[in-house]
Structure 1
């Protein structure tokens, strides 16, 4: 199975040594820099952990990862999972629409050339996500660029994978993904309208992602849950009320997992993105009450809708 594990600040790794260990696919760095990692396999996001968990280790299989750089992308490969990351320079973020299309094109060329043409989980992090009015909001422009790239590579809506898109408070942008040799199954949540069918009020093109993607990795079915927020249908719920947004978000994830037959799964890789750092205590208490044995990382980030205070993502796996 694929695992996402967090390291506390007092266990900052010797990254070269850790990347050389069997089963370590990639290291995700939570901090202030959003620039290409010092070596393939290190993915800095430009958004800090609010709870002193500055590293995430993505583990898979038993082999030592192959690593390399192609098309201005850094990649790592273990067995049947490929991880690829690419960064957008700060000066190119001034036209996030065009830069996103170019960046996705790089990613798609790499995964196709490597023989892993099916992305099953994508993360997108960019600056100033809520800046701009109407269709000129940065997130909406990003969605247009992403949609163009999907169209360029003939990715149909039913093939959109699980994804997250958040804003950070530094320069530059990063997109990274996990891809496989075979397609996963993409799922929608009956409580929510598919994002790619949102009405026109959400931008010139709807967001291009599924609510979750499931696939078998080493014969174990796993579900990658997209960034999930306080949305029912297509409408934002509980504006201004963090506790209620947390409750609706958590219920959305539980409902989704039951819907795809993974209601009794073990969760890992849980990230709680908080718009306001001062909300950490409330969010921490909420998850401690519901998932007391689970390591959760709380991240300072802007959410794609300005009314949203929190977004949550997770990986669901069979209980060992």
Structure 2
């Protein structure tokens, strides 16, 4: 896949890169970090970074002229056919008399805001969504909070006339240390293509064992942009078919996760009809459930990708209580500032 000149990921971005006119948006894990321009969309996740630095912040940059704004509750920047947006939703505001449905309603509200923004701003091609919510594995009011989130997300997809399977965006959903439901997304004027993993059942086809409403995301998404192919690999874990494998073994789960990413890269090349991206060329976020497992996870990642691989390690709960690690990735775009 050719690299896209129109979108770059600035790895561990310095303040001047984030404050510059070409910054589309920022993702930040751990700590407050540098003060950013008020009109810059920034995903601030309340969860600690384990390596390489206490506060990791990445900037999506582009060579296009950018416009900043707010649509509803979404803060965004757009330009060159891409839109980056963020929003934060307070779950307590949706409790009302029926506390049990608060998270589902909050998630549905967040996604309705998202869809209203991308449609109104002329970027209907939802490419990638990042979701973070506190207590993701907690059982509250008789069901796991991740399952409540999935129900709300699917409510919004249906209400906004979006497909519930097939051409759906890449995504992840992780547990945060606290705070609100926070989302970030990338959308396009173009049409992304969904990619599935032949080793796994598509998430939207999971049996009811994993909840009455299936997760609405694809294993990866491709976008032809600026004469190149962008690839976003969803949060990926140790799942074969629809089952978690290697229970309690973080090293084996990490190896299985990396095998799944390799399978997605194979399928992306087939779907996109172009060369296969080498795994070592991507940028990664690895979510580790238990801080003590970091050395084991990193050892497996280094063995598979090489010690020079661009990986940030974050402590976060994963969407299934029996999963110890989840890894996401992106590629097809230059990655700057990672030496």
Asked if the contact 2:262/2:279 (under 8 Å) is kept, the reply is no
Aligned residue-pair number: 311
Listed as ranges, the matches of 1:71-110 within 5 Å are 71-92=72-93, 95-110=102-117
Structure 1 residue 20: deviation in Å?
4.1
Asked if the contact 1:82/1:179 (under 8 Å) is kept, the reply is yes
Listed as ranges, the matches of 1:170-181 within 5 Å are 170-181=178-189
2:209 maps to what in 1? 201
1:310 maps to what in 2? 325
Aligned match for 1:169, one of 161, 164, 177: 177
Structure 1 residue 213: deviation in Å?
0.4
Aligned match for 1:111, one of 108, 112, 118: 118
Structure 2 residue 10 is matched with structure 1 residue 5: yes
Against the structure 1 CA distance between its residues 137 and 293, is the aligned structure 2 distance closer, same or farther, given a 3 Å change threshold? Answer: same
Q: What stretches of structure 1 of length at least 5 have no aligned partner?
A: none
Task: Report the Cα distance in structure 1 between the residues aligned to 2:223 and 2:194, rounded to whole angstroms.
Answer: 9
Moved more, 78-87 or 266-275: 266-275
Structure 2 residue 297 is matched with structure 1 residue 297: no
Structure 2 residue 195 is matched with structure 1 residue 187: yes
Secondary structure of the 1:253 match is helix
Structure 1 residue 318: deviation in Å?
7.2
Against the structure 1 CA distance between its residues 267 and 97, is the aligned structure 2 distance closer, same or farther, given a 3 Å change threshold? Answer: farther
Asked if the contact 2:28/2:58 (under 8 Å) is kept, the reply is no
Task: Report the Cα distance in structure 1 between the residues aligned to 2:207 and 2:142, rounded to whole angstroms.
Answer: 13
1:136 maps to what in 2? 143
Structure 1 residue 173: deviation in Å?
1.4
Task: Report the Cα distance in structure 2 between the residues aligned to 1:3 and 1:318, rounded to whole angstroms.
Answer: 5
Asked if the contact 1:266/1:316 (under 8 Å) is kept, the reply is no
Against the structure 1 CA distance between its residues 267 and 60, is the aligned structure 2 distance closer, same or farther, given a 3 Å change threshold? Answer: same
2:129 maps to what in 1? 122
Secondary structure of the 1:260 match is helix
Secondary structure of the 1:111 match is helix
Task: Report the Cα distance in structure 1 between the residues aligned to 2:215 and 2:251, rounded to whole angstroms.
Answer: 26
Aligned match for 1:212, one of 214, 220, 228: 220
Task: Report the Cα distance in structure 2 between the residues aligned to 1:45 and 1:133, rounded to whole angstroms.
Answer: 22
Normalised by the length of structure 1, the TM-score is 0.91
Structure 2 residue 40 is matched with structure 1 residue 40: yes
Task: Report the Cα distance in structure 1 between the residues aligned to 2:313 and 2:243, rounded to whole angstroms.
Answer: 24
Task: Report the Cα distance in structure 1 between the residues aligned to 2:311 and 2:84, rounded to whole angstroms.
Answer: 22
Aligned match for 1:281, one of 261, 275, 295: 295
Task: Report the Cα distance in structure 1 between the residues aligned to 2:54 and 2:63, rounded to whole angstroms.
Answer: 25
Structure 1 residue 21: deviation in Å?
2.1
Normalised by the length of structure 2, the TM-score is 0.86
Structure 1 residue 56: deviation in Å?
3.1
2:273 maps to what in 1? none
1:24 maps to what in 2? 23
Task: Report the Cα distance in structure 2 between the residues aligned to 1:18 and 1:48, rounded to whole angstroms.
Answer: 22
Task: Report the Cα distance in structure 2 between the residues aligned to 1:198 and 1:172, rounded to whole angstroms.
Answer: 27
Q: What stretches of structure 2 of length at least 5 have no aligned partner?
A: 96-101, 270-275
Aligned match for 2:239, one of 208, 227, 231: 231
Asked if the contact 1:26/1:42 (under 8 Å) is kept, the reply is yes
Task: Report the Cα distance in structure 2 between the residues aligned to 1:228 and 1:135, rounded to whole angstroms.
Answer: 27
